Chain A
Amino acid sequence: MTKPFGRREFMILGSTAAGSILLKACGSNPSTPTGTSASPVASTAASTTAAGNTVKVGILHSLSGTMAISEKSVVDAENLAIEEINKAGGVLGKQIEAVIEDGNSDWPTFAEKSKKLIDQDKVATVFGCWTSASRKAVLPVFESKKSLLWYPVQYEGQECSNNVFYTGAAPNQQIEPSVDWLLENKGKEFFLVGSDYVFPRTANTIIKAQLDAKGGKTVGEDYVPLGSTEVKSVIQKIRQALPNGGVIYNSLNGDSNVAFFKELQASGLEPDKYPSMSVSIAEEEVKAIGVDYLKGHYAAWNYFQTVNSPASTKFVEAFKAKYGSDRVVNDPMEAAYIMVYLWKQSVEKAGTFEDLDKVKAAAYGQTFDAPEGRVTMNPNHHLSKFVRIGEVGEDSLFKIVYESTEAVQPVPWNQYVADTKGLGCDWSDPAKGGKYKTT
């Protein structure tokens, strides 16, 4: 009787041990590449820690779970910026030390980890989040603790917090210009398809209002649960609603995109008759979906890897040198890279890490020669950014077919949607604040 029990017990012990080793190895892995390839920086950082000569910043993204797909590469971009800044002498003479926390694609975890970063690690600021859901989850934490978050992803707008700097596009810097471009060049009839959560639903509300205002027509709208890969019925609806072709506006996120484009091609809806505009497909997604399925479709962003400027070339080369030549950069990564530099500039202008009111005041009007062009931080906590539309080409990169001549001013409160029409945001003026009537 003892023997089988003993063996079983042993096997359980053995497998848990092996499992925990595996997990441990996994857990330590994301930081290893940085640790090894950035060894000179790490060693200087280590030596200066003793002298109390570092400043801690938090990085809060999902390194595991569904969203790890997108967020890991944003962490890579942030690490790249931190490494560059450290090599150039740091901020206010101090080396940046990143405290990386895993939000695990779980919104309460994001809130918990942000508390930990602020209270225990006492970080100067936090760079983080991807999904709007995670941002909404940490927002009360940052507001109640009067701390500061930098958020790098294009989003649906309708928010303007005093404790967040948004370096991704507001709807008027991505969605609205792309709809205008489609109306002008591709057609008046739109079918809207998106994942079933806050960003696509808000984005589609904006698009519908915009189409009504500009003489376009929404012929149909459908939502797919996040992660679902059975999209056949959506295709059938598109075919019914647009029998002779038309525009597909795609705000699907994650896995569903792959199934959607594979099914689109298999059902014979080719991009010449059914051009699609995507707002969540960038260089990395093209690689993951397969360029053969995406060729000829469009995407709207502020930055593409193919942007031809010295700053862009430098960014791409630095990234590839650090993480491997087969890696690509995309818009959220660029926004993440920018925000670390913008934080550095603001802190240097304010001359302090701790007094966030001074840092915020210093941030307004900061400019940076970003890979996308010269960007400016506005008093509404959003960046003026360039708008670009790209067509997926043979080489899985984007051919830029439209480019705004100058940076577009951000409008966080949407002016097409009735609820927020006439609202503005200006944190530099205490009388105005996050939501004031402009008219």
Chain B
Amino acid sequence: MLSGLVDGIFSGISLGSVLLLAALGLAIVFGLMGVINMAHGELIMLGAYTTFLVQNALKNTPLFGIYIFVALIAAFIVTAIFGLILERGVIRHLYGRPLETLLATWGVSLILQQFVRSVSWQLVAIVAVFCVLFFGAMTIVARRTDFERIRGWFLAVMLPLSAVSAIAVGNVLGATYKLAFTKEWFGARNVDVTAPRWLRGGLPVAGTQFSYARIFIIVLTIACVVGVYWFLNNTPWGLRIRSVTQNRTMSACLGIPTKKVDALTFALGSGLAGLAGCAVSLLGSVGPNTGQNYIVDTFMVVVVGGVGKLAGSILAALAIGTANYLIGSNTLVDLTAPIQPLSDVFAFFSTISMAKVLVFALIIAFLQFRPGGLFPQKGRTVDA
């Protein structure tokens, strides 16, 4: 009984912290910019793949024992840079049009999934050659004063031209170097991330065992939440981010560079997704679909928590995680054993699939009473 309860509490917190870590970046991006980032899951995936690469690079070196810390830093940097490119390249053109960002980021997520499946030196070469030719030519032509007028022509000529030459270069290189060049880096299969020895196994407590990997994730989540709070509340850029969240127009009037704030926030949110990717690689699989496994849950956390409020996300993640675990395992069935009908109901829902159904139903019911989530935003800016 005791072991069941202890295990329930630990597992609930642990599930919650995974959810929170995955949702933290999304909560910031969604809260600040109103951007529904469907590619968030793929940013998590990129973080997980970065972990895989770091692990392989440090294999058989003395650093292997602590590769996970190197991977955390690398994953943060890689995904933050990618987020920055995504924001600069796609999302900033779509601000204020939530449906279009939804579609665009969903497209980005599909491209990223297929990209990690198919990426090979050949593909990289093709994309690189295309970018150099096309964007290089554009930079040169854009200097002309009549660029606006000839833009249509430019696109019609340069797009197919660079595409054809890029594919030609790729195929020639592929035919020259054969397998070494055309072989996929990761392929469609999952790749393995094996935790360092000290993170495997667990700590025996009261008849059950706490997994070290999960303890590590709980600590990491706490560190991230504290870090984000500190950043938002104690740094000049944090102050600017908060002011833009509260009132974008007024902040712009007061001279806050809102565009820079947007880019920075998006990079920060993406970086946090990278950290989450590194963390989930310790628990689950790393593959092209890794992100898809988390995206629905993370949106659930943000919506239940209330958009724009970190405290809400934290509470929502813990609540959803604990509820999922308690319903999915037999814990509630045992606790309610004296009351037969209630225990029968819980027994019916006590598989992982059915627990999800019940949790979804509870969330829908909850949102009927509190449509804004746990901590809805208040004030006149809400509708803006």
The residues of A with any CB-CB pair to B shorter than 8 Å are 2-3, 6, 8, 10-15, 17-19, 21-23, 25-26, 29-30, 32-33, 36-37, 63-64, 66, 68-70, 72-73, 196, 222-225, 227-234, 236-237, 239-240, 254-255, 257-259, 262-263, 265-268, 284, 287-293, 323-324
Contact = CB atoms under 8 A, between A and B. Distances in A.
Q: Is the interface of A mostly helix, strand, loop or mixed?
A: helix
Contact of A232 (B11, B107, B292): B11
Nearest to A105: B289
Contacts of A291: 192
B175 A36 contact: yes
B194 A21 contact: no
B90 A15 contact: yes
B190 A288 contact: yes
Contact of A69 (B182, B287, B325): B287
B170 A288 contact: no
A268 B14 contact: no
A268 B201 contact: yes
Contacts of A25: 118, 122-123, 126-127, 167, 170
B178 A37 contact: yes
A278 B39 CA distance: 33
Nearest to A325: B179
Interface stretch (B209-217, B230-238, B304-312): B209-217
A72 B188 contact: yes
B192 A267 contact: no
A262 B202 CA distance: 11
A64 B123 contact: no
Contacts of B324: 230, 233
B159 interface: yes
Contacts of A13: 155
Given A72-B188, A228-B352, A231-B352, A8 B118 contact: no
A68 B188 contact: yes
Contact of A292 (B148, B194, B280): B194
Interface in B118-160: 118, 120, 122-123, 126-127, 130-131, 134, 148, 151, 155, 159
Contacts of A284: 189
B117 interface: yes
A237 B182 contact: no
Nearest to B191: A288
7 contacts: A21-B127, A21-B163, A26-B114, A32-B171, A68-B288, A225-B353, A265-B200
A267 B209 contact: yes
Contacts of B134: 14, 17
Nearest to A16: B107
Contacts of B191: 288
Given A29-B184, A259-B285, A267-B209, 11 more contacts: A25-B123, A29-B122, A233-B324, A255-B190, A255-B293, A258-B285, A262-B282, A262-B283, A290-B193, A292-B194, A293-B194
Contacts of A222: 351-352
Contacts of A239: 208
A9 to B, nearest CB: 9
A222 B171 CA distance: 49
Binding site of B, secondary structure by majority: helix, strand, loop or mixed?
Answer: helix
Contacts of B155: 10, 13
A233 B178 contact: no
Contacts of A237: 329-330
Contacts of A323: 179
Interface centre among A14, A254, A290 (most CB of B within 10 A): A290
Nearest to B325: A233
Given A22-B115, A222-B351, A232-B14, A259 B126 contact: no
B351 A268 contact: no
Contacts of A263: 211, 283
A10 B151 CA distance: 9
Contacts of B174: 32, 36
Given A25-B123, A224-B353, A292-B194, A266 B111 contact: no
Given A32-B174, A266-B202, A233 B328 contact: yes
Contacts of A265: 200-201
Contacts of A232: 11, 14-15, 325, 329
Given A36-B174, A233-B325, A21 B166 contact: yes
B183 interface: yes
Given A26-B123, A222-B352, A229-B280, A266 B178 contact: no
Contact of A266 (B114, B193, B209): B209
A223 B353 contact: yes
A41 to B, nearest CB: 15
Contact of A229 (B192, B212, B284): B284
Interface in B274-288: 280, 282-288
Nearest to A65: B289
Interface in B307-359: 324-325, 328-331, 351-353, 355-356
Nearest to A229: B284
A304 B343 CA distance: 46
